[in-house]
Structure 1
Amino acid sequence: MKNNSECPKSLGVFFAVITIFIWGITFVSTKYLLKNFSAFEILFVRFILAYFGLWLIKPVPLKLANSKDNVWFFLAGLSGIIIYQFTENAAISFTTASNVSIIVSICPMFTAIIAQIFLKEKHITAFFVVGFIIAISGIVLVCLNGSSDLHFNPKGDLLALASAVCWGFYSMAVSKINRMNLDRILCTRRMFFYAVITMIPFAIFGILENDPSSSFYLNMNAQKNAERFSSLVSWANFCFLGLGASAFCFVVWNVACKTLGTVKVTVGIYMIPVVTIIFAFFILREKMTAMGLAGCILTIAGLAISNRGNK
């Protein structure tokens, strides 16, 4: 698929919907793996699997007309894969999967803001501003989630907010890459390549890290690793995250962005919390208070309002 004519809009919508559904479950899958793996270990294994999975699908090199275009692939790998995924994984270590999914769902707003600033696209309207205020109000309620003394640990929630900002920069890089009209699989694999390369210094730091509770910790104990990686459930989750949520979803998401428009498709992310909350309730037994539920509704309503008036 190299241009819009090769992918009908109905297929772009289908790709966006299936990706949103799968990404909604990733929060639950990551929460399970965090019982035995650090946030960085999950990230490292996930994208190694994704990178080699795409090589098996299409074992041919990507050729660029201008080598300077690699900067957009590097930015996409750094912002949308390394920083976004790591801060999201780390956030889930400190708060619930439901909380993180709701907070991250405001990334369409940051995508619109960044697109307007750097790509000169006009997305910020009166509806956008009103929706942004409503969504932020909802996020405050989600963060509090029934805390009677209004005291909470903001670490996980702020990390989730940072990941939402990073996704905005990733979306900008994807917009630039889509204009090159290159093969989607090869483009996604190139992003993963830069992501894996960027992870190497962090991996060295993780090996030297002596605190097992650290999000960067990389366990090099052979006996412990043999025990951890012998779990079929853990491998099922890694394959789901690496081959499904990463290799497959990043490819079809980029196709959807090319077909329907990055900002328009990204708005669909506000449905991810609904998927996450349902699966987190049944699998992780996470519960949400009336305040948290009200915050969820406000956040989704704010996102819907912010998109009103856009074609």
Structure 2
Amino acid sequence: MKLKHILLALLTVTIWGVNFIAVHYSLKTFSPFLLCAVRFGLAAIPFVFFIPKPKASWQLVFGYGFFIFVLQFGLLFTGLHLGLSPGLASLVLQVQVFFSMGLAAVVFHDRPSKWKIIGALIAFAGLAMVAIHVGAGTTLLGFILTLFSAMSWAVGNMFSKKVASESSLALVAWGNLVAFPFMMVISLCLEGPESIVTSFAHINAETIISVMYIVYMSTTVGYGMWGFLLNSYSTTVVVPYTLLVPVVGLISSALVLGEEMPLWKIIACIIIMAGLVFNQLEKQVREIFSRLSK
């Protein structure tokens, strides 16, 4: 990747890592599905009135919106609501890297090299530490839902490459338009009108700032930049950068929310970062092993 695109990827994962803090504060006021509906509605309107639909079939745009937004965030927000901490959720969600690489190999024949696979496995060891330390009860359910959220993100990445929109912002806006009615209906049916009225009655400045960050920074800016990168490079080159999301998520959760940072979390972060370095410096790694084998 070009240096400017590496910096773009780093900016994207930083925005997404901090986003877990915004979700944490937003869920103090909004129920999970209502928060999703608000997020999708504000991210779609008014943009869809000014930005043409991507030049792709409705089926592809629908698939992108359904998997990236409806399933991913519906499951993720519910997992957070049920007790999974923001820092841990940011770690668990990165299983999508492995799902994405596997799906890319099947769908696009975008097969990762053995070195990228090794790098992914190193990072997976860090994620496995999270699974080992997740507690029982509602937190376990939150962990499972977040795993399914990661799978949805990976499937959505495939739709993003299929659409190959010239404007990543257009894909994000129209994808959110697809997701909005789904989440509004789900919120009405499962959370009820009374919960919706109560949520809006208790909005405060903290909630407004958090929701604005989720909508415009994480969704519009973050997914806009991510779509551009996916359309510019191979999936196996781009998706490993999301392994840095939990590092940002854990550090920001510790600084802002006072989330504990025991030794195992620090080790997990180091292992994940090592896997990413191994993955991205494939050429240098090959050269080192070649010299050692001589």
Q: Do the structures match in fold with TM over 0.5?
A: yes
Q: Secondary structure at the match of 1:174?
A: helix
8 Å contact from structure 2 (residues 54, 171) kept in 1: no
Say how many residue pairs are matched.
282
Residue 176 of structure 2 is aligned to residue 183 of structure 1: no
8 Å contact from structure 1 (residues 27, 101) kept in 2: yes
One-letter amino acid matched to 1:52: I
Q: 2:177 pairs with 153, 175, 193, which one?
A: 193
Cα 1:288/1:195, change in 2 over 3 Å: same
Greater displacement, 260-269 / 126-135: 126-135
TM-score by length of 1: 0.80
8 Å contact from structure 1 (residues 31, 92) kept in 2: yes
Q: Which residues in structure 2 correspond to 1:54-203 (within 5 Å)?
A: 54-55=47-48, 59-62=50-53, 64=55, 69-93=57-81, 94-123=83-112, 125-145=113-133, 153-178=139-164, 181-203=165-187
Please report how far the alpha carbon of residue 226 of structure 1 lies from its aligned counterpart in structure 2 after TM superposition: 4.6
One-letter amino acid matched to 1:286: E
8 Å contact from structure 2 (residues 37, 181) kept in 1: no
Listed one character per residue, the Cα deviations across residues 29-86 of structure 1 (whole Å, up to 9, x for unaligned) are 111122222111211111111111534xx7143263x6xx221111111111111112
Greater displacement, 184-193 / 112-121: 184-193
Q: Secondary structure at the match of 2:195?
A: coil
Cα 1:288/1:111, change in 2 over 3 Å: same
| Whole-Å separation in 2 of the counterparts to 1:86 and 1:291 | 29
- Structure with greater helix percent: 2
Listed one character per residue, the Cα deviations across residues 212-249 of structure 1 (whole Å, up to 9, x for unaligned) are xxxxxx7133xx345322x0111011111011111122
| Whole-Å separation in 2 of the counterparts to 1:291 and 1:207 | 37
Q: Runs of at least 4 residues of structure 1 off by over 6 A?
A: none
Cα 1:260/1:54, change in 2 over 3 Å: same
8 Å contact from structure 2 (residues 80, 86) kept in 1: yes
8 Å contact from structure 1 (residues 82, 195) kept in 2: yes
Listed one character per residue, the Cα deviations across residues 263-291 of structure 1 (whole Å, up to 9, x for unaligned) are 31211111111211121111111002222
Question: Alignment RMSD, CA only?
Answer: 2.7
Q: 2:227 pairs with 254, 267, 270, which one?
A: 254
Q: Which structure 1 segments of 5+ residues have no match?
A: 1-7, 210-217
| Whole-Å separation in 2 of the counterparts to 1:11 and 1:307 | 15
One-letter amino acid matched to 2:105: Q
Q: Secondary structure at the match of 2:166?
A: coil
Cα 1:83/1:236, change in 2 over 3 Å: same
Greater displacement, 112-121 / 290-299: 290-299
8 Å contact from structure 2 (residues 24, 86) kept in 1: yes
**Match for residue 13 of structure 1?**
6
